[in-house]
Amino acid sequence: MATLIRLWKPHGVLSQFTDAENRPTLKSLLKMTNVYPVGRLDRDSEGLLLLTDSGPLQASISRPGSGFPKTYQVLVEGVPEAAAIEQLTSGIELRDGPARALSARRIETPDLPARTVHPRVGRKCCWLEIDLDEGRNRQVRRMCAAIGVPVLRLVRTRIGPWTLAGLSPGSWRAETLHAPVSDPKRPNSTRPHDRPRGTRPSTNRPGKSRASRTPRGS
């Protein structure tokens, strides 16, 4: 069995439990012991962050191409042409190698908590939804910058079968997994096709937490 936590990381919070500069961390939101983030979100990014007490589960979810794609809703400065959006899925050369989204499209303004952003004077903005099967450092931001639309706000809404449903910024829910998991939207995944079953209510127990060493973020 493994504990898995879905947490809505707010803007401005680090995806770790300690910080030498005393910036806001997960410790202010989650008082549990021996759970570690599955991947990261940058301090200026928001949305779904998974944590678990299982090393194998942490590794299987965060591994590129593992069958647990990530969905991001991104407010960008500018309105990219269809050809520019297509570049995100056909491939973009970044400094650490080529990157390609599974899908990318323009969307209407999503139903998210309001947050003030500051585009340059006279510039229009729009929202994109981007799916990735990896999570290199600031990858979404770098890919959008490469097509000429810098990111103003980034919210991760899904990792595999887990979403922000039932959460608000700063809140979390825990469940107990009794079997290996895979993404039901990826039927050809090489992961076992057992779905998570059985949940256990979270108890918000106080305790110490240790920082994750996971080096990824978006």
Terminal-residue alpha carbon distance, the chain: 29
Task: Given the residues 42, 44, 131, 133, select the one marked as catalytic.
Answer: 42
* Whole-number Å distance between alpha carbons of 150 and 125: 10
Catalytic residue status for 96: no
* Whole-number Å distance between alpha carbons of 14 and 29: 11
Beta bridge partners of 175: 4
The residue assigned the tokens 């965060």 is 62
Q: Which two tokens stand for residue 136?
A: 């290199």
- Which residues, other chains included, contact 22 with Cβ-Cβ below 8 Å and sequence gap of 6+? none
> Active-site residue numbers?
42
